C-alpha cells in the first residue's frame, strides 16, 4: 500500500507513525513545503520570549528521525502543486532544485494546515510587521527584536497567540499594547469573562484598546480605526487563520460549510481514497453535531491518529469536539470548553447560567479566586459549556467539566462528584461542587448581573462591611445594611416587593437572603457572583 501525506506537522506526522505501527510493509511518503516538520506551534511564543531556549525542544524530530525510526520518507521543501484523483497522482515540485515530478498513491492524506489571515491594511507588508505561524516566523521575530533593540510593540488581535505574545514581549522588557477590533477581548469567551480578563490584565499595566483595529501601518506608528495613533517599532498581527484548501478545491474535493475540507468520522473526504486531517479540515461539534472549524493542535493529533488507524483497517472514529482550550497570560489561566451562553441561545437551548467566584484552595495556603461561568439547558439540565478565568487549578476544574460534558452529564451530578480534597489542592467543597449546588437548589433564588442591570429600580441591599463599601465601592441605589444588622433593620423594606441582596462574592448575601425569606419576604434574591464580579464584568 502506497500512502502519500501532504504536510508534515501535527496531523500528518501522527497519521504516518500510526500507519507504520500497524503496517510495517506500507510505503509512506510525506511532502512538506516548509523546512521544519513535526514542531510544536503552540510553543513558539515561549521560544520568542526566551522561556524555551533550545529550538530542538520545539522541533525534536527531523527527516532522519522518521527515516531511521519509522522507515518513513519525508521530503522537506517539496510542494505538492496538484492532485489528480482519477489517476491517483500528485504533482510535486522540489523547491530547491525546481524539479517537478509525479508521484502515485493508493491512499492520500491532505494535512496542509492553515495560513494566517492577512487583513487588507495599508503597510501590512512592511519589514517590521510579522505574523506567527511557523518556526521560521518565530526565528525572524527573535532576530528582529535582537538587532533592532525593540522596546515598543503593538499586537493586533487578542486570541490565544495575541495574548501569549503579549506576555512574552512584556517579559522581554518590551512595552506592548494590544488592539482588538471587536468590542471585547478573547472572542471565545462570553463578555463577562472577557471583561474580567481585560480588567485583570489592565491591573498589571497592559494597555488594551478594544473596538479599535489597525487601519494603517507606518514605519514608526500605527493608525487605529478610532483615530488614535500608537508609536511602535514592531507590529505582530494575530488576526487568526484560514484553512489551506486550494489543492483540495482544485482537485474537486468537497469543502464544508465552514470553508474547510469536509470529512466524515473516518476523516475521509468526498473522494473515498483521499483523507484530510488537521487545520485544513472541518470537524463537528460534540453537542450539536454541527460542522465547526476549530484549528487546534490537540484536535489535529487526534485526527491524525484516527486516519492512520482507519487506513490500516482499524475501527477508530472521530466523535466530535468541544473546542476545549486553555492558555496562560502572565500568572492568569484562561480556559473554556463547549458552548458559550450566546452559542447555546443560537442553538435554541433554554439557557440557564451560573456565574460565580470561588477560591481554588485554602486561602492560608495561597488560594486565589477563579471566576467560573457554566451554561446549561434549563429543560434537560444538560451541561453545555464552561469558561474559567483564574490562576492555579483552572486546568484541573476545566478537565472535570470537559469529561462531564463529553459523557452527557446533567448539572445535578456536579455536587455528588467524589473529587480529591486536601487543603493544599482544593476547598472541602470544590468550585465544581459549588456550580452544582447553585444549579441544584438555588437557581430560583439568584439573579444574574445582566438581569439586575435590566430591572431598573429595586430594593437593593448591600450586606458587606462598612470597610468593604468604603474601599471597594458600591452599586448605585443600594442601601448598606451589614449582615449582622439585617434582623433589626429589615422592617424598612416592603416584604411584598422585590429585594436583591449582594455582598462581595455571594456567600454572605445568600445568608441574608435566607433570613429575609424566613421572615416573610416573598420576592427576595441575591446577586450571582457578588459585587466583585459586578465591578469586573461591567468594565
Residues noted as catalytic:
42
Q: How far apart are CA 198 and CA 183, in angstroms?
A: 11
Beta strand residue intervals within 325-430, DSSP E: 325-329, 332-338, 351-359, 369-377, 383-390
Torsion of CA 217, 223, 225, 226, to 10 degrees: 170
In whole angstroms, give the CA distance from residue 357 to residue 344.
22
For residue 88, give Cα distances in angstroms to 274, 313, 499. Answer: 9, 20, 72
Q: Per the structure block, which three cell numbers stand in for 76?
A: 522537506
Of the candidates 193, 184, 158, which has an alpha carbon nearest to the alpha carbon of residue 374? 193
CA-CA distance, 26 to 24, in Å (whole number)? 6
Give yes or no for a contact between 96 and 77, defined as CB atoms under 8 angstroms apart. yes
Residue entry with cell 510493509: 25
Q: In what helix (H) or strand (E) does residue 10 lie, and over which residues does it extend?
A: helix 10-22
Give me 13's grid cell: 506526522
Q: How far apart are CA 132 and CA 125, in angstroms?
A: 14
Q: Whole-angstrom Cα distance, residue 62 to residue 247?
A: 25
Query: Which residue has 448539572 as its cell numbers?
Result: 411
For the range 252-256, what are the long-range contacts, defined as Cβ-Cβ under 8 Å and sequence gap of 24 or more? Answer: 252/85, 253/83, 253/85, 253/110, 255/282, 256/282, 256/291, 256/293
Q: Do strands 152-156 and 78-84 pair parallel, antiparallel, or not at all (unpaired)?
A: unpaired
Q: How far apart are alpha carbons 34 and 63 in whole angstroms?
A: 12
Amino acid at each position: 500500500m502506497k500512502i502519500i501525506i501532504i504536510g508534515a506537522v501535527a496531523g500528518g506526522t501522527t497519521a504516518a507513525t500510526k500507519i507504520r505501527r500497524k503496517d510495517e510493509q506500507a510505503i509512506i511518503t510525506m511532502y512538506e513545503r516548509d523546512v521544519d516538520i513535526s514542531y510544536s506551534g503552540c510553543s513558539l511564543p515561549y521560544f520568542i520570549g526566551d522561556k524555551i531556549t533550545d529550538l530542538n525542544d520545539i522541533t525534536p524530530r527531523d527527516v532522519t528521525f522518521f527515516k531511521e525510526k519509522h522507515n518513513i520518507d519525508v521530503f522537506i521543501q517539496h510542494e505538492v502543486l496538484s492532485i489528480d484523483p482519477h489517476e491517483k497522482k500528485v504533482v510535486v515540485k522540489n523547491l530547491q532544485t525546481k524539479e517537478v515530478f509525479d508521484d502515485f498513491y493508493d491512499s492520500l492524506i491532505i494535512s496542509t494546515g492553515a495560513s494566517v489571515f492577512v487583513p487588507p491594511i495599508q503597510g501590512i507588508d512592511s519589514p517590521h510587521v510579522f505574523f506567527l505561524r511557523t518556526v521560521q516566523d518565530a526565528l525572524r521575530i527573535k532576530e528582529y527584536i535582537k538587532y533592532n533593540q525593540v522596546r515598543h510593540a503593538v499586537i493586533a488581535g487578542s486570541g490565544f497567540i495575541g495574548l501569549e505574545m503579549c506576555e512574552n514581549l512584556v517579559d522581554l522588557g518590551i512595552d506592548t499594547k494590544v488592539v482588538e477590533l471587536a468590542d471585547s477581548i478573547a472572542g471565545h469567551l462570553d463578555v463577562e469573562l472577557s471583561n474580567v480578563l481585560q480588567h485583570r490584565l489592565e491591573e498589571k499595566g497592559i494597555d488594551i484598546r478594544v473596538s479599535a483595529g489597525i487601519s494603517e501601518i507606518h514605519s514608526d506608528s500605527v493608525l487605529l480605526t478610532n483615530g488614535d495613533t500608537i508609536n511602535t517599532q514592531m507590529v505582530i498581527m494575530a488576526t487568526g487563520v484560514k484553512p489551506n484548501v486550494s489543492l483540495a478545491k482544485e482537485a474537486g474535493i468537497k469543502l464544508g460549510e465552514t470553508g474547510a475540507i469536509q470529512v466524515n468520522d473516518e476523516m475521509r473526504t468526498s473522494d473515498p481514497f483521499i483523507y484530510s486531517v488537521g487545520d485544513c479540515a472541518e470537524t463537528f461539534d460534540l453537542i450539536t453535531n454541527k460542522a465547526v472549524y476549530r484549528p487546534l493542535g490537540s484536535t489535529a493529533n487526534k485526527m491524525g491518529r484516527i486516519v492512520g488507524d482507519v487506513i490500516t483497517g482499524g475501527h477508530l472514529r472521530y466523535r466530535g469536539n468541544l473546542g476545549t482550550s486553555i492558555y496562560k497570560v502572565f500568572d492568569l489561566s484562561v480556559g473554556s470548553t463547549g458552548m458559550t451562553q450566546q452559542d447555546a441561545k443560537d442553538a435554541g437551548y433554554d439557557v440557564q447560567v451560573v456565574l460565580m467566584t470561588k477560591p481554588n484552595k485554602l486561602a492560608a495556603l495561597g488560594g486565589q479566586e477563579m471566576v467560573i461561568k457554566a451554561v446549561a439547558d434549563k429543560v434537560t439540565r444538560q451541561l453545555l459549556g464552561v469558561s474559567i478565568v483564574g490562576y492555579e487549578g483552572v486546568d484541573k476544574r476545566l478537565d472535570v467539566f470537559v469529561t462531564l460534558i463529553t459523557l452527557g452529564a446533567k448539572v445535578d451530578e456536579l455536587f455528588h462528584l467524589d473529587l480529591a480534597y486536601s487543603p493544599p489542592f482544593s476547598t472541602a467543597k470544590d468550585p465544581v461542587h459549588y456550580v452544582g449546588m447553585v444549579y441544584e437548589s438555588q437557581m430560583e433564588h439568584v439573579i444574574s448581573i445582566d438581569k439586575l442591570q435590566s430591572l431598573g429600580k429595586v430594593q437593593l441591599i448591600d450586606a458587606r462591611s462598612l470597610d468593604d463599601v468604603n474601599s471597594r465601592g458600591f452599586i448605585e441605589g443600594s442601601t448598606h445594611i451589614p449582615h449582622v444588622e439585617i434582623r433589626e433593620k429589615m422592617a424598612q423594606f416592603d416584604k411584598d416587593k422585590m429585594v436583591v441582596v449582594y455582598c462581595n462574592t455571594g456567600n454572605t448575601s445568600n445568608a441574608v437572603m435566607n433570613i429575609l425569606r424566613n421572615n416573610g419576604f416573598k420576592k427576595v434574591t441575591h446577586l450571582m457572583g457578588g459585587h466583585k464580579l459586578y465591578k469586573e464584568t461591567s468594565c
